[in-house]
Structure 1
Amino acid sequence: MGLSASPGFMQGKYAWLKLLLITAIVLLNGYAIVLMYAGGEYAFALLTLVVVSTGVYVFLSKKMYAHRYIFPGIAGMVVFIIFPLAYTIGIAFTNYSGTNLLSLERVEQLHTQKTYMAKGGSFNFQLHQESEGKYVLALSQDDKLFVTRPVEVVSNADVRARKLTLKTKRIKLHEVDALPATDKAPIKEIISHRQFFNSILLVTPDEHELVMNGLRKFSAMKPLFTRLEDGVVLKESGAILPGPSILRNNQTGELMLPNMETGFYQYIDGDGQFVGSRLAPGFTVSVGWKNFERVATDKGIKEPFIEIFIWTVIFASASVAFTLAIGMVLACLIQWEELKGRAIYRVVLILPYAIPAFISILVFKGLFNQNFGEINEILNGLFGIKPDWFTDPVMAKSMILIVNTWLGYPYMMILCLGMLKSIPEDLYEASAMDGAGPINNFFNITVPLLMKPLTPLLVASFAFNFNNFVLIQLLTNGGPDIIGASTPAGTTDLLVSYTYRIAFQGDGGQDYGLASAIATLIFLVVGALALINLKLTKADKAA
């Protein structure tokens, strides 16, 4: 009689553990969803809710028992592929950028927190201890001196320990002829009571209100903007503008409204028309197809985009061709029985694949240095030339192809080494009887028999090189730059590095919306190329 338990027994025995684990996951993710929703990250909150809810249903329902084994893979695909793609496409239809990161509500809050120096000016501030827990605040401006009565001051530590909520307190100032005789308190004393000082208003005899404006300053600071909750009537047209997004400049009396087309607050005239410059920071709004229209119509974007797209296709195709040719030839040579020390050659030739790519790239960057690199030293000594590898577009592209071929040929060689073993030796023997040599065998037998199984891997290699960001970023950073481009663009940029530079290296603020539009186009182009390749190779029919 066996000791193994039945599945039903095991399920009942550990049911409490399963329920406990699922409960912990639900509580943890529920808390995360609440935090994300409160922080305005609605898309991420919805994604977490859908994935966790689906997971709980799959793992608790008997009907979905078979699906629980594939659910982790599907969930990973949704979280790391489908959602980022959908999120990127969504950003492509907005003005999301380094200057338009926030929501309208957050921008309003930031504007209403701005202050300006009102009538009354700024005063130097000193603190004098009168007795235990009581201080005199002394202010000076030119020849004017003001002091307060002894004030009971609360320390920051007491505020935290007693969880106090400090309410704004008005304290009168009195003009005096001399400062208090007690010693001036050190700066650390002010710092230890700063929360209290930030909560008080000092009122001068002229009724000017002063607030703390630095550790040694009290100034007549007023809010620069006021939100008009009830709206306002325009002076010239008499039209009524409803609140609450209207802001009034307390210095000039001018009115501002959020421009929902540009994503910035702008001043308006008496007719309610936008005038003047935009007020940073901006907020995120939907712009429809404008980012895609910029790619199609803006000369400073369209021409670099087309040039970079053509170079990307050439780079990916040439990289596959060069690495395949070298890898296949080397694989055939290593398989040659007459070659002595084949094992040593195999190890040496695979080394470029074993060394981390970024190390090899940085080594080559030094070797190709135009002034001190060993490659230019050799070329100068032999032929008297020193190519401009990093400043001439043709030489820079040639350098990239050389480096990428060096990094990629071991992969192709390994693939071909494995596939060569599947070719029957009888074919070569029959060919030798017909008088064919090694070269004829290579082109008439080896290449045709290797190309069919290699084709799907070549398509994958093309897709990898199409998005080979690391090589470009570390070797040339896209340079040399394309003259006349309105966005950061280089002659050696691939579409992926071009998108990265627009998103994170823009001079006028990172343009995430435009970068997302280009990323969407890249996805469509790569998808179309993959489908074309599948059709041409009939891989879809074979599947």
Structure 2
Amino acid sequence: MDVVKKTHWWQSDALKWAVVALLGLLVAYLVVLMYAQGEYLFAIMTLVLSSAGLYIFANRLAYAWRYVYPGFAGMGLFVLFPLVCTIAIAFTNYSSTNQLTQERAREVLMDRKYQAGKSLNFGLYPQGDKWQLALTDGESGKHYLSDAFSFGGEQKLTMKEAQALPTGERATLRVITQNRQALNQITAVLPDDSQLVMSSLRQFSGTRPLYTQAEDGTLINNQSGVKYRPNNDIGFYQAINADGNWDGEKLSPGYTVTIGWDNFLRVFTDEGIQQPFFAIFVWTVVFSTLTVLLTVAVGMVLACLVQWEALKGKAVYRLLLILPYAVPSFISILIFKGLFNQSFGEINMMLNALFGIKPAWFTDPTTARTMIIIVNTWLGYPYMMILCMGLLKAIPDDLYEASAMDGAGPFQNFFKITLPLLIKPLTPLMIASFAFNFNNFVLILLLTNGGPDRLGTTTPAGYTDLLVSYTYRIAFEGGGGQDFGLAAAIATLIFLLVGALAIVNLKATRIKFD
């Protein structure tokens, strides 16, 4: 007897394909919208991920991929896409002065106006819940009044000649200031068809477009007659002289253009960038290496001590030693910043009382770097101690018993048994710790902000800056404009350096311990 399996309406193929079609149309609309807005990378990413998702969830043969697709999509969206965007920006002149597309930059320039023609004094007079605009020509003494209007949006007011100003109290400067944005959207049209806009808190003036676009795309300044042509090598509308050659004047804002390898070449050829970059790179490697070595050494020694059978109150010691890991790092960093204060910090007060010295922790490069390593060791040793405590449990007691029969002491046991058996499983975690500290941005930002600053550099750089904080300062603190393209180039180099160092470390440890 055949059993007919009942299919519910929500399980039908027709409904499934209808949903797939609707989602496909939505994705197509979003992709076209992103492409029209110039967001090409977003459009490509949306198209690829959405198409793969629709294919996997609509195709029965790809059923197994439904479980791994969210992971791949997340990796593509949150790992690969930011990386691709960063690399793409590194090949452009993207900065605070070159953020727009060429079309948008031209629109901004074409919207600029300059004052031309006569200026008339204005006043606002209340008319119930509305207002009336009054203009007065100071030379002829004529008055012009508008009909009652309400603030909101762009609007043109037809002005009619009047014998006198309206009766009632004139609006104060405070009222005009509060409604300045709305007044800026008003155009007053006089009987002779001349148009005036608000030019100050007490005047309406005639205006004209500052630039006129010629047929070849050249912008002409209507005041000076200077011509500006788009220079796609630098991303600015730049003045041209009578011979058609480039002049020095550039119009802001500029626009984003592709400049090839220029940002990468600046890192290696511009002395103002080259010197701090290599010095900061060396310090970053030294800082990361010392931090890993010190945190592992301190954590391993303390783990061995709190596992010592003869030690009384081991649980209390464990709790106290793990506390730095339980406190949020930014709180600990700010507390240490106060403790290391040169004038009022407790550390300098104790050093002055004991040894008569008061180190300049924040102004001397060497002591500032020493302070950073001390603080980071304090923040990092509890993690390594917890790992070592777990790994120590895995070491057989027979090894120590055999060592004791041979007459070995605690130091021989540590260097001959404990250390070799702990280092191998700790190696991947040490490499991960190295990569993390290579980009330890929070510590530098909160403790020293990269200071003390280096002199004679064309980009903001400090003696305690790591490459990641140096990149941040270039991107957001550059005195000549935030240079996101150069920052993206350095971020790309950091990615390559960290990846290369991680591979070298893995190969070195594999050769050593295999």
Q: Does structure 2 retain, via aligned residues, the 8 Å contact 1:376–1:385? A: yes
Structure 1 residue corresponding to 2:472, chosen from 476, 500, 504: 500
Change beyond 3 A, Cα 1:360–1:195: closer
TM-superposed CA distance for 1:155, in Å, is 3.2
- Aligned counterpart, 1:221: 207
- Structure 2 counterpart of 1:334, one-letter code: V
- Aligned counterpart, 1:538: 510
Structure 2 residue corresponding to 1:182, chosen from 167, 170, 189: 167
Identical-pair percentage: 55
Map 1:206-355 to 2 at 5 A: 209-214=195-200, 216-228=202-214, 230=215, 243=216, 245-355=217-327
Q: Distance in 1 between matches of 2:399 and 2:513?
A: 28
TM-score (norm 2): 0.90
Q: Does structure 1 retain, via aligned residues, the 8 Å contact 2:132–2:149? A: no
- Structure 1 counterpart of 2:102, one-letter code: L
TM-superposed CA distance for 1:496, in Å, is 0.6
Q: Does structure 1 retain, via aligned residues, the 8 Å contact 2:122–2:136? A: yes
Q: Deviations over 1:308-367 (max 9, x none)?
A: 000000000000000111111111111111111111111111111111111111110000
Change beyond 3 A, Cα 1:495–1:135: closer
Residue aligned with 2:304, SS:
helix
- Structure 1 counterpart of 2:108, one-letter code: L
Q: Which runs of 5+ in 2 are unaligned?
A: none
Q: Does structure 2 retain, via aligned residues, the 8 Å contact 1:129–1:136? A: no
- Aligned counterpart, 1:4: none
TM-superposed CA distance for 1:499, in Å, is 0.5
Q: Does structure 2 retain, via aligned residues, the 8 Å contact 1:123–1:219? A: yes
- Aligned counterpart, 2:48: 50
Change beyond 3 A, Cα 1:42–1:146: farther
TM-superposed CA distance for 1:182, in Å, is 2.9
Residue aligned with 2:220, SS:
strand
- Aligned counterpart, 1:126: 123
- Structure 1 counterpart of 2:358, one-letter code: K
Structure 2 residue corresponding to 1:147, chosen from 143, 161, 166: 143
- Aligned counterpart, 2:485: 513
Q: Does the alignment pair 1:417 with 2:413?
A: no
Residue aligned with 1:483, SS:
coil
Q: Distance in 2 between matches of 1:435 and 1:541?
A: 27
Q: Distance in 1 between matches of 2:409 and 2:425?
A: 24
Q: Does structure 1 retain, via aligned residues, the 8 Å contact 2:127–2:148? A: no
Q: Distance in 1 between matches of 2:125 and 2:377?
A: 75
Q: Distance in 1 between matches of 2:164 and 2:512?
A: 90
- Aligned counterpart, 1:108: 106
Which consecutive segments of 4 or more residues in structure 1 shift more than 4 A? 8-35, 127-136, 168-171, 187-197, 539-542
Q: Does structure 1 retain, via aligned residues, the 8 Å contact 2:183–2:198? A: no
Q: Deviations over 1:194-215 (max 9, x none)?
A: 57972443256xx864333356
Change beyond 3 A, Cα 1:19–1:350: farther
Q: Deviations over 1:375-398 (max 9, x none)?
A: 000000000000000000000000
Q: Distance in 1 between matches of 2:128 and 2:312?
A: 96
- Structure 1 counterpart of 2:506, one-letter code: L
Structure 2 residue corresponding to 1:138, chosen from 135, 156, 165: 135
- Aligned counterpart, 1:198: 186
TM-superposed CA distance for 1:192, in Å, is 11
Q: Distance in 2 between matches of 1:414 and 1:364?
A: 23
Change beyond 3 A, Cα 1:355–1:130: closer
- Structure 2 counterpart of 1:391, one-letter code: T
Structure 2 residue corresponding to 1:64, chosen from 47, 62, 65: 62
Q: Distance in 2 between matches of 1:65 and 1:540?
A: 44
- Structure 1 counterpart of 2:230, one-letter code: P
TM-superposed CA distance for 1:12, in Å, is 7.7
Q: Cα RMSD (Å) of the superposition? A: 3.2
- Aligned counterpart, 1:99: 97
Q: Does structure 2 retain, via aligned residues, the 8 Å contact 1:130–1:136? A: no
TM-score (norm 1): 0.85
TM-superposed CA distance for 1:129, in Å, is 7.7
Q: Which moved more, 1:8-17 or 1:391-400?
A: 8-17
Map 1:449-488 to 2 at 5 A: 449-488=421-460
Q: Number of aligned residue pairs: give it.
A: 507
- Structure 2 counterpart of 1:140, one-letter code: D
Q: Distance in 2 between matches of 1:248 and 1:209?
A: 22
Q: Which moved more, 1:400-409 or 1:130-139?
A: 130-139
Change beyond 3 A, Cα 1:353–1:151: closer
Q: Distance in 2 between matches of 1:11 and 1:353?
A: 54
Q: Distance in 1 between matches of 2:33 and 2:108?
A: 22
